[in-house]
Amino acid sequence: MSDTTMTKPKARRGFGFYVRIYRKILVQDLKSKMSYRADFVISTIGMIMTNLSGFVTFLILFKNFPSINGWDYYHMLFLYGFSLIALTPVQCFFDNNWNLRFQVQSGDFIKYCFRPINVFFYFMSEVFDVKGLGQLAFGIGTLVYAWVHIGIPVTPLVIAKLVLFLLTASLFMIAIMNAAAATCFWIVGSGYVMVIMFRFKDFAKYPSNIFHGVFRILFTFVIPIAFVAYYPSLAILESENVPVLTWCAPALGVLFFYLSYKFWMLGVSKYDFTGS
């Protein structure tokens, strides 16, 4: 009889619960992805090519300008590697944002509202993009290469700072993409918003002190691209004169992420789910 469900103890779903669920989905997902080998190989090659072409552009640029605003080749390379690593989480874990507008428009999105778990989590957990891992490897390689040439000492403190500020940087990019994707709950042309935001990430590879006036304020506080690599990386590159914004970055990162999450969920609650 149905009595069993009625006396069920009050279920609690904490952080540990979500980590466990995510791990299980991830393992299953990877297993099934491995079984489509051709798809896996081709998308990996595609990712390597994309990164290589970005890298070549970068080299050509530096052949012509030996330094940008006082940043030499290796520092720029450091920034480049840093940004690649920082962009990995958004690529790997939050890639389903790109499908959001299709699911919202077709009405398929409703299925995420029927489970007793967080809608945002459930939606994001559905896609893990393996291609991000190639980018990660590329980023780590570039970063280590630049690191050695600049001669930054390797101490536990520096490593801890690196990890903290990489996480901070990725939070900003995740926040930007969440907010951009969530616009689809209100407007039809949200695809453009996402593409533009995703293009903006290319600016993250340059020191944001090359921007002036309005753009600097725009890329710092409105669309916080400057936080995706520039400010966090200064914590490692500069031994003194670290800007205040760098130290504020972790807290700001959490704040931006939280706001983007709230915006995303607001979209869900305002969405009419019209059509059957």
Partner 1 sequence: MKKHTFRKHKLEGTDKMENAIVMKNVCKDFKILNRHEGLKGSIRDLFSRDYKTISAVKDVSLEIARGEIIGYLGPNGAGKSTTIKMMTGVLEPTSGEIMVNGLVPYKERTKNSERIGVVFGQRSQLWWSLPLIESFRLLRDIYMVPKKDYEEMLELYRSLVDIEPILHKPVRQMSLGQRTLSDILAAFLHNPAIVFLDEPTIGLDVSMKAKIRSLIQGLNAEKNTTVILTTHDMGDVDALCKRIVIIDEGKKIYDNDIEHLKSYFGSYRTLRIRHADDTWEERVIDETKEDVMDVIMKKQKEQKIKDIQLQEISTEEVIKKIYENSAASKESAAVSDVAEKKEEATV
Q: State the residues that interact with partner 1 by CB under 8 A.
A: 1-2, 4-6, 11, 20-21, 24-25, 28-29, 32-33, 108, 110-111, 113-117, 126, 272-276
202-236 burial, b at 16+ Cβ within 10 Å, e below that, comes to: ebbbbbbeebeeeeeeebbeebbbbbbbbbbbbbb
Helix, strand, coil in percent for the chain, rounding step 5: 80, 0, 20
Please report how close the Cβ of residue 111 comes to partner 1 at its closest, in angstroms. Answer: 5
Residue closer to partner 1, measured from CB, 21 or 48:
21
Task: Name which of 110 and 140 has its Cβ closer to partner 1.
Answer: 110
Query: Radius of gyration (Cα) for the chain, nearest Å?
Result: 21
In three-state secondary structure terms, 68 is strand
Of 233, 228, 234, 216, the closest CA to residue 253 belongs to 228
Instruction: Spell out a b/e string for 23-37, using b for 16 or more CB atoms within 10 Å of the CB, else e.
Output: eeeeeeeeeeeeeee
Provide the minimum distance between the beta carbon of 13 and partner 1 in the complex, in angstroms, as a whole number: 8
Minimum separation from the CB atom of position 217 to partner 1 (A): 25
> Could you give the C-alpha distances from 80 to 10, 40, 159, 171, 203, in angstroms and in order?
49, 26, 18, 17, 10
Nearest distance from residue 113's CB to partner 1, in Å?
Answer: 5
Of 247 and 273, which has the nearer Cβ to partner 1? 273
Q: Report the nearest approach of partner 1 to the CB of residue 198 (Å).
A: 24
Locate 65 and state its tokens: 């300008």
Least spacing, CB of residue 42 vs partner 1, in Å: 17
By beta-carbon proximity to partner 1, the closer residue of 207 and 267 is: 267
CB nearer partner 1, residue 56 or residue 111? 111
At residue 117, what are phi and psi to the nearest 5 degrees? Answer: -130, 165
Cβ proximity to partner 1, 12 vs 212, nearer residue: 12
